[in-house]
Amino acid sequence: MALTDAFARGLKAKVGVRYSRADGNGLLLDITPAGVKSWVFRYRLNGKREKVVIGHYPEVTLKEARTERDKLAGMVRNGKSPFMEKKLAREGFSGNPTVREFAERYYAEQVLKNWKEPKHIRRYLDNEILPAFGTMQLKDVTPLDVQKLVYRKRDNGQVAAAIQLRGVIKRMFDYAIETRLVTANPAALVATRYIGKARKRSRVLRPEEIRKYLRTIYVSNIRRQFKLALHIILLTLVRKSELLFAKWEHIDFEKGEWLIPAENAKGAKPHIVYLSKQVAEMFGELKMLAGDSGFVLPGRGRTTRPFAKNALNKALDGLTFEEMEPLTIHDLRRTGATLLTEKGFNQDVIEKALSHEREGIRAVYIIAEYADQRKEMLQFWADYVQDLLSESKVIVGNFQRA
């Protein structure tokens, strides 16, 4: 039975009881124990029950409430959530945001709260997604837009990164669907099977492959800094980004230590790498090649910045290793960790050298730095690799300092 103004005015509060009276088509007049009367619109969208408060009675009249109800019902028919639209308006978000606006919301509400290490999501947003279609309206992004961006990375030989990029876009649009801002996910229509297969993360170089790897890079025509960098990563077990962003202020030649500050470390915790004699000599040569730059690996023509993030990858991808499977820079860390384990070194010492975060009960009780053990292990590893080269006698002269 539809309400009337006289009936609505006559409704009284009930002690300790909150109740409502229906006007029809989802419109209710809600009465609290304190006597506050509010118009509420209830509806179902995508199988979920939702409600939104229209306003207080009698400030909002019965006629005005019905007009607003009809407007909100129209939104529901078009697949939009009045509740979510109102929530977004309160929080300062547009009901029709650009990709950039929604990406910042997604990053704040989902990535920072739920991802242990959100940095790589931030990099994909800043370096790939936002430059490509950050100014577009979220609802206007098509599968073709996503495919073009993802395939460009795939065609550049970065299959694993292309798959990850597609995953970031898909998760962001999944949240956009959940918040009723779009009704379809354009990334879902870009099938991963057509992007390609990422290399298995299990590649470990055999000793003879280590010899061939170093021989190949030193006789190649890539930049001297790249040769040394690809050698240093093998001997120190560091991540590529940790070396790329290293500065000379972080290198202490007297102590034989390289500090990786928190902002350069994957786990956002500072980490010390102990330099073997061989690595210290390579850093000495890089110091000479860097000139007056503060960076260990200054970019070409811009000494105030390091080389581009993919420069080492491109240098390695451009080499041909005869009778060897392809390898990635990360395979060098895995190789060192695996062979050192086979040589009998303590797993905790290896994990600390890799700057891996401990989990579970071990994280609580094992806080040792293993400084002496790590120094010994990294010097052993550098000597072991040097012995492999001495046996082959293949790069004498090419390995000498420039």
| Domain-terminating residue out of 170, 194, 218 | 194
Mean pLDDT across the stretch 83-94? 68
Q: What percent of the chain has pLDDT over 70?
A: 90
Would residue 290 count as lying in a domain?
A: yes
- In angstroms, the CA 180 to CA 83 distance is 10
Q: What is the pLDDT of residue 118?
A: 84
Q: Which domain holds residue 19?
A: 5-90
- Count up the domains in the chain and report the number: 3
Give yes or no: residues 124 and 78 share one domain.
no
Neighbour-count burial of 163, counting CB atoms closer than 10 A to its CB (0-12 exposed, 13-18 middle, 19+ buried): middle
Q: Are residues 148 and 57 in the same domain?
A: no
Q: What is the pTM of this model?
A: 0.55
Picking from 41, 72, 90, the residue at the C-terminal end of a domain is 90
- State whether 70 and 107 are in the same domain: no
User: Are the CB atoms for 195 and 147 separated by under 8 Å?
Assistant: no
Which carries the bigger pLDDT value, residue 43 or residue 401?
43
* pLDDT on residue 154: 87
Q: Is 202 a domain residue?
A: no
Strands 298-299 and 27-31 come out as: unpaired
Tens-digit pLDDT profile for residues 282-317: 999 999 999 999 999 998 877 788 988 888 988 888
What pLDDT shows up at residue 397? 36
pLDDT at 395 over 60: no
Average pLDDT estimate for 89-116: 81
- Name the band, by pLDDT with cuts 50, 70 and 90, for residue 246: very high
Please check whether residues 79 and 111 belong to one and the same domain: no
Give the per-residue pLDDT at 89.
65
Same domain? For 241 and 387 the reply is yes
pLDDT of amino acid 57: 94
* Last residue in a domain, options 172, 194, 216: 194
Residue 252 lies in a domain: yes
CA 239 from centroid of its chain's CA atoms: 15
Q: Is residue 199 part of a domain?
A: no
pLDDT at residue 1 above 80?
no
- Give mean pLDDT, residues 203-221: 92
Q: Is position 50 within any domain?
A: yes
Residue 164 lies in a domain: yes
Among all chains, which residue has been given the structure tokens 């005005």?
A: 64
Q: For residue 365, what pLDDT is reported?
A: 40
Q: Are 63 and 129 part of one and the same domain? A: no
pLDDT value for 186: 95
CB 37 within 8 A of CB 30: yes
Do residues 104 and 184 share a domain? yes
Residue showing tokens 């991540």: 239
Q: What is the DSSP letter of 128?
A: I
- pLDDT value at residue 47: 83
Long-range contacts of 183-187 (CB under 8 A, 24+ apart): 183/79, 186/141, 186/142, 186/143, 186/145, 186/146, 187/143, 187/146
Instruction: Provide the pLDDT for residue 189.
Output: 92
Residue 362's pLDDT is what?
45
**Is residue 398 a part of any domain in this protein?**
no
The answer to whether residues 294 and 376 belong to one domain is yes
User: How far, in whole angstroms, is CA 276 from its chain's centroid?
Assistant: 32
Dist CA 61 CA 124 (whole Å): 50
Q: What is the CATH number of the domain that holds 126?
A: 1.10.150.130
Same domain, 67 and 163: no
Q: Is residue 311 part of a domain?
A: yes
Same domain assignment for residues 175 and 264:
no
Query: What average pLDDT score do residues 71-89 get?
Result: 82
Looking at the predicted structure, is the pLDDT value of residue 141 above 90? yes
